[in-house]
Amino acid sequence: MKLFSRLRRSVRGALAQTASRPADIAPAAPSPLKAAMTCPACGLELQPDVLERLLFVCPCGKHLRISVRRRLLDLCDTDSFRELASEVVSVDPLAFPGYGDKLAKAGKTSDESEGVLCGIGRIGGIDCALFAMEASYMMGSMGSAVGERITRLFEYATERRLPVIGFTASGGARMQEGVLSLMQMAKVSGAVQRHGEAGGLYIAVLTDPTTGGITASFAMEGDIILAEPGALIGFAGRRVVEQTTGSALPKDFQSAEFNLAHGFIDAIVKRTEMRATLEKLLRLNGQKAS
């Protein structure tokens, strides 16, 4: 595997190098959609051009999954987004059976080099640090590289006094990296804590699905926590909860609406209103256009 012929480094080794800086060049455009999609909620067939215009929200209200590149490029002011920490990618530290192949396949299906896209950009002229997790890259699972990218983003934002806006979408820690994945929860939480203590604003936006170790760390650490309609948000998986509880769960269990009713998120925001809502919240929190 080409990926693993590269020199492996521990994070400690990589840290000795200079910290990540935003890329000088414009990010690659999202790859064009080839085929129509059928809405799983209402069965409507949506053509690629329609999907893009509607931000992948079906007229029935169902929020379909949108690629991170499309999401962040659409959210940020034109030509303002620059990638950060994209040079950080995964290795196979445990030589875990099948992991190398899964990484290669995930790169192809998602067109991303890891399960999270980080960068800086402007929303309504306000400078922000942003990350978005890619559900189509191994279910957005967090291994060392995902943890490292997000940590570098928070550290960059702390240095530059930037607010952080993070879109979560993940099945949790990536088990193929064993406990190294689990420890990323601690690492990112430390970076969030330092950003917060320095007065930084962090808005988390929970998208479908946000579960496991992500819910048990930075998804729930935002000063403000938003969610997209219908997003699955929870710690334990539905099947595991049903096995533990021994009874069927209501249909809306762990939905964004369930989380709002139980007091765990601030608001549910439609994707079409996300940009305006974020800009308003940034301004209400004293952030100004540069």
Partner 1 sequence: MQLHPYDKLRAIRGNARASATEYIEGIFTDFTELHGDRRYADDPAIVGGLAYLDGTPVTVIAIEKGKDLAERVKRNFGLPKPEGYRKALRLMRQAEKFDRPIICFVDTAGAYCGADAEERGQGLAIAENLVELMAVHVPVITVVFGEGGSGGALALSVANRMLMLEGAVFSVISPEGCASILWKDAGKAAEAAECLRITAEDMAAFGVADEIVRENFADFPSMCAEMRTMLCRHLAELRTMAPDVVREQRYAKYRAIGEIAPIG
- Interactions with partner 1, residue window 129-158 (CB under 8 A): 143-145, 147-148, 151
Residues 23-62: x where in contact with partner 1 by CB under 8 A, - otherwise, as a string:
----------------------------------------
Would you say 66 or 192 has its CB closer to partner 1?
192
Which candidate, 129, 276, 122, places its Cα nearest to that of 201? 129
Q: Is 98 in the site for partner 1 (CB under 8 A)?
A: yes
Q: Would you call 202 helix, strand, or coil by DSSP?
A: strand
With CB under 8 A as the contact rule, the residue among 33, 74, 96, 260 that binds partner 1 is 96
Shorter beta-carbon distance to partner 1: residue 122 or 195: 195
Name the residue nearer to partner 1 (CB basis): 123 or 143: 143
Instruction: Candidates 33-41, 157-165, 183-191, 267-275: pick the segment binding partner 1 (CB under 8 A).
Output: 183-191
Burial zone of 11 (CB within 10 Å; 0-12 exposed, 13-18 middle, 19+ buried): middle
Cα distances from 63 to residues 49, 54, 57, 262, 271, in angstroms, run: 16, 10, 5, 22, 8
Going from the C-alpha of 214 to that of each of 17, 37, 254, the distances in angstroms are 28, 28, 14
Region 253-282 residues binding partner 1, contact defined as CB under 8 A: 253-254, 262-264
Output the CA–CA distances (angstroms, integers) from residue 152 to 21, 31, 253, 282, in the order listed. Answer: 9, 26, 34, 22
Among 36, 104, 240, 276, binds partner 1 (CB under 8 A): 240
Q: Which of residues 6-25 bind partner 1 (CB under 8 A)?
A: 6-12, 14-15, 17
> Comparing C-alpha atoms, which of 109, 113, 153, 147 is closest to residue 131?
153
Beta strand 267-268 with 224-227 is parallel
Residue from 158, 170, 215, 255 binding partner 1 (CB under 8 A): 215
| Residue 97 in contact with partner 1, rule: CB under 8 A | yes
* Continuous segment of H or E residues that includes residue 37: strand 37-38
CB 200, min distance to partner 1, A: 13
Of 37-45, 75-83, 157-165, 248-256: span binding partner 1 (CB under 8 A): 248-256
Among 137, 153, 213, 224, binds partner 1 (CB under 8 A): 213
Total of chain residues touching partner 1, rule CB under 8 A? 72
- Give residue 244's identity as a one-letter amino acid code: T
